[in-house]
Chains A and B, each alone.
Chain A
Amino acid sequence: MAEHKPTSPTIYLGVYVSLLLLTLLTVWIASTFTLGSLEVPVAMGIASIKTILVGAIFMHLSHSSKLVWLSIGAAIVFLAIMIGIVMIDYNTRGWVPLRGEDPVIRGV
């Protein structure tokens, strides 16, 4: 929250319009295409772009201190570890048969 030159309203307006367009884009993609396994990456990719816009411009992360970056970066890293490792577990169940396991119930 150090003193810095205020971002101009034009930039805020540009970000706002981009956010609305990205929302329309993600709704349009979801209602028009059947993407199958690409559905989640596309939707999450657009959400991430929107988040970066809000974070960098609205929340002034683009000119924030290293401490701010560190605290928010740490939270994101730990979130990635949490979701990543849990999904690695669920997605690999049944790859290696366990001794004495009934093959029919394998793989959740």
Chain B
Amino acid sequence: MWFFLASEILFFGGLFTAYTVMRRLNPDMFALASFKLNAVMGGINTAVLLTSSFTMAMAVWAAQMHNQRLLRLFLGLTILFGSAFLVIKGFEWSEEYKHHLVPGSSFGYDEHGELHVNDKSGHHIDTQQLKGLQLAFVFYFTITGLHALHMVVGLVVLGVQWWFTLRYPRFGVEDYTPIEVSGLYWHFVDVVWIFVFPILYLLRT
């Protein structure tokens, strides 16, 4: 599992490297992109995900204690908080869609073909700046999208394990390795978000 996580570090690392280079080349527009994201929702989501990591750690503990009912409870809570994260993320994405911030041929333009993006002081930005801003949002949707995909994979794994605890009376508590391994994956996805959140939402200058 750790070898897989090592490869995952470099997978997300490649994305962060590309982001860093592009931010270095378009500092103002990448800062504006952070400014336009909803840091309150991002912050709440960070707390939700940290909570799910805590319940996951408790699920491993319950497995080590040979208590399958507690294990099932904590797996269920982890799935619940993980799903809540994705729901909040979905609301954020739809908010950005409404503000014409999804990259594409009409990025920044409303239905009437008018440019609808202002900078921090409320002035319209020009088309050259719009390109930089669009690049920032390409990174935003790629990084958060791939992170969300990892969450979905984790939720499927945890869902199957939750179902196994119903089906097999000794699952997880006889040998806690399967729970430990899915926990490692879950915590890894949490760690990725620990970096994604400040990089995408908080760096505004």
By a beta-carbon cutoff of 8 Å, the part of chain A in contact with chain B is 1, 6-7, 9, 12-13, 15-16, 19-20, 23, 26-27, 30-31, 34-36, 39-40, 43-44, 46-47, 50-51, 54-55, 57-60, 67-68, 71-72, 74-76, 78-79, 82-83, 86-87, 90-91, 108
Contact = CB atoms under 8 A, between A and B. Distances in A.
B3 A71 contact: yes
A79 B15 CA distance: 11
Contacts of A60: 180
Interface in B135-188: 177, 180-181, 183-184, 187-188
A33 B144 CA distance: 26
B115 interface: no
B27 to A, nearest CB: 11
Nearest to A42: B198
A54 B53 contact: yes
B28 to A, nearest CB: 14
A4 B4 CA distance: 22
B87 interface: no
Nearest to A7: B61
Contacts, number: 126
11 contacts: A1-B177, A12-B54, A16-B50, A19-B53, A19-B54, A23-B46, A26-B202, A58-B57, A71-B2, A78-B10, A82-B13
B9 interface: yes
Given A58-B57, A90-B24, A75 B199 contact: no
A39 B31 CA distance: 12
A54 B6 contact: no
Interface of B: 2-3, 5-7, 9-10, 13-14, 16-17, 20-21, 24-25, 39, 43, 46-47, 50-51, 53-54, 56-58, 61, 64-65, 177, 180-181, 183-184, 187-188, 190-191, 194-195, 197-199, 202-205
The B interface is mostly helix, strand or loop, or mixed, namely helix
Contact of B190 (A43, A54, A72): A54
Contacts of A91: 24
B205 A76 contact: no
A72 B65 contact: no
Given A20-B47, A26-B198, A55-B191, A72 B53 contact: no
Contact of A54 (B24, B180, B191): B191
Contacts of B187: 54-55, 58-59
Given A46-B198, A47-B197, A75-B9, 5 more contacts: A1-B177, A16-B51, A67-B2, A72-B2, A83-B17
Q: Which 6 residue pairs of A and B lie closest in terms of their CB atoms, listed nearest first?
A: A75-B6, A30-B202, A16-B54, A43-B198, A6-B64, A79-B13
Contact of B17 (A13, A15, A27, A82): A82
B6 A44 contact: no
A83 B20 CA distance: 8
Contact of B56 (A19, A58, A87): A58
